[in-house]
Structure 1
Amino acid sequence: MNRLVEQLRAELVGERMGERTWARTWLPYLRQLAATAEQGGAGDDAAFLARYLRRWQANSRARQMAYDRARALWKHAGWPWPKELAQLRGNGKAAADPDGVRAFTDEEISELRSRIEASARLTPSDLLAWDCLTVFGLRPQELIDLEIKRGPRGGPVAVVTRSKRSSKGSTRPRQVPAVPPAGWPADCHRLLARWKAHGLPEWSQRLASPGEHLSQQLRRLRMPQGLTAYGLRHAFALRLGVELGLHVREAAELCGHSPAVHLATYGRRLDGPALRSKVAELVAARS
């Protein structure tokens, strides 16, 4: 099993994904698959794989990823994939929030800033990193090699050069003007001056996965459960669509992904209020 995993790595890394993507989103699942195989106790492939998949919650994203990674390994080996396993993968809908993605509210963003400023462990550089996620809608990894400059109207603009590489392709560099939450000053609390004064924290440039470090900080700050660093990116995307009224294509460009991904991720939150209002009007007109 371990030999097959290494062969699959050689097939995927370089052509379809980077080493970090493999190490973070493929290797942990395949190692668990190999560990399950070493435990024995299962008969045919279907029974063995079912035992492996049930380690993760039904309809969770982790279960789906475990399923897809194992199936890729089976395909690489030329083994037939048991069709009866399809129901174990799930589609994630049962675990999805009916209101869509969990984004920071403006009040939660203010509370986050207050707790960082009051923290004895976090620094002005840490606050700057969180503010960059907030006003530019960055992925945590895009803090790496980030540059900030003054825009044509004087506001801060992020120059994002970090590429996200996966089996679906790579993101391209982009420039993102600051879109702060309601009530923020236009200069985003002197963001550009703070950038020049002390820059981003050292860990944001050194760690392969800054998101894990940000998650640890959120836990130490005792922010509400369910909030993640990506929640600031979600809030940024909703700000573009709901408050600014940008077209999906324009918002997707600023977020650094395709319109299809934007709709799949944020469509429920963007369309929900207008859809409910339209239905209410139609029902009222009918009666």
Structure 2
Amino acid sequence: MKWLPATSELSPSAIISVAQRSKPNTRSRQIACTVLRQFARFAQIEVDVGPYIGNYSPKKVVKTIPTDKIISQAIEQLPNPAWRYLYALMATYGLRDHEVFFTELEWRDSESGERILVAKVTDGKTGTREVYPFYPEWVERWQLWNKKLPKLTARINQDYGERVSRTFKRAGIPFVPYDLRHAYAIRISVVFKLPVAVAAAYMGHSPTIHWQTYNRWISKEQHQQVYDDVLRDEDRPKPP
């Protein structure tokens, strides 16, 4: 909405011009056209943004999720300690980019006697939730108990996301911030083999979303690893 003319009369051409600012056939273009269509209806401007929506569909998105090795190395490209901490928090807990600013950390004792640093999201996109660290070793490596986030101000959650994305891009991180969350989702499902219901709860979405979205992005290597692990299990089912 901020791209609409503030000092001149609102017109169909102005609305179409704003609709075309985002990349074609993307979720951003789809959202922009949906919002502009509703606004034009409210403002009683006759304009058809339908031709500009594109053919975006989550099922058509092909993503290459960074491996955990790449994630553990790419953090070094962020020179600022506060931004490295934000990166580490997203990677370890699978947080959305804005959720890191609304997260409290709490130490808890496990049955094995080890201490676990649990992340409590107080204002997430899907409400409050608790998240456990995977890998827990990353908590120690990056000293996540020593909270030191960048000092940012924002009116809405999207402002946090845009700032985080710009910082990652300037630092040359070879993936977008949300890929840290995607990698966490696959990690807890494939590597740590958590039940789907538990994994979805950690992520803050439904099991259906977990199946539909993240399972499509499991790599060929990860599928092979799961198969190899099953075959190495001495208690696996044997042929008749």
Other-structure match for 1:185: 137
> What is the alpha-carbon distance in structure 2 between the residues aligned to residue 76 and residue 242 of structure 1?
47
Match of 1:144 among 95, 101, 115: 101
> What is the alpha-carbon distance in structure 2 between the residues aligned to residue 233 and residue 217 of structure 1?
17
SS of the equivalent of 1:160 reads: strand
> What is the alpha-carbon distance in structure 2 between the residues aligned to residue 237 and residue 159 of structure 1?
17
- The aligned runs of 1:41-60 (5 Å cut-off) are 50=16, 52-60=18-26
- The aligned runs of 1:131-210 (5 Å cut-off) are 131-153=88-110, 154-164=115-125, 171-180=126-135, 185=137, 187-189=139-141, 191-192=143-144, 194-195=145-146, 199-203=147-151, 206-208=153-155, 209-210=159-160
> Where in structure 2 are there 5+ consecutive unaligned residues?
224-240
Other-structure match for 1:265: 213
> What is the alpha-carbon distance in structure 2 between the residues aligned to residue 247 and residue 70 of structure 1?
41
Match of 1:253 among 198, 201, 215: 201
What is the CA-CA distance between 1:161 and the residue it aligns to?
Answer: 0.3
Given the superposition, is the C-alpha separation of residues 248 and 270 from structure 1 closer, same or farther in structure 2, using an over 3 Å criterion? Answer: farther
> Where in structure 1 are there 5+ consecutive unaligned residues?
1-26, 165-170, 275-287
**Contact 2:90–2:97 (Cα < 8 Å) also in 1:** yes
Match of 2:74 among 95, 99, 112: 112
Would you say how many aligned residue pairs link Structure 1 and Structure 2? 217
Given the superposition, is the C-alpha separation of residues 110 and 91 from structure 1 closer, same or farther in structure 2, using an over 3 Å criterion? Answer: same
Question: Residue by residue, what CA displacement relative to the aligned partner does 1:202-254 show, whole Å, maximum 9, x if unpaired?
Answer: 415x4453333333332343222xx1211111111111222123343322211
**Contact 1:147–1:159 (Cα < 8 Å) also in 2:** yes
**Contact 1:128–1:200 (Cα < 8 Å) also in 2:** yes
Match of 1:128 among 68, 74, 85: 85
Identity, in percent, stands at: 26
> What is the alpha-carbon distance in structure 2 between the residues aligned to residue 270 and residue 202 of structure 1?
32
What is the CA-CA distance between 1:191 and the residue it aligns to?
Answer: 2.9
Question: Residue by residue, what CA displacement relative to the aligned partner does 1:173-202 show, whole Å, maximum 9, x if unpaired?
Answer: 11111012xxx737441635x42xxx2224
Q: CA RMSD in A?
A: 3.6
Other-structure match for 1:18: none
Q: What is the one-letter code of the residue matched to 2:134? A: V
Q: Which stretch has the larger CA shift, 241-250 or 72-81?
A: 72-81
> What is the alpha-carbon distance in structure 1 between the residues aligned to residue 205 and residue 39 of structure 2?
28
> What is the alpha-carbon distance in structure 2 between the residues aligned to residue 252 and residue 66 of structure 1?
28
**Contact 2:92–2:139 (Cα < 8 Å) also in 1:** no
Question: Residue by residue, what CA displacement relative to the aligned partner does 1:149-190 show, whole Å, maximum 9, x if unpaired?
Answer: 1233212110110233xxxxxx2211111012xxx7374416
Q: What is the one-letter code of the residue matched to 1:210? A: Y
1:76 partnered with 2:23:
no
Other-structure match for 2:178: 230
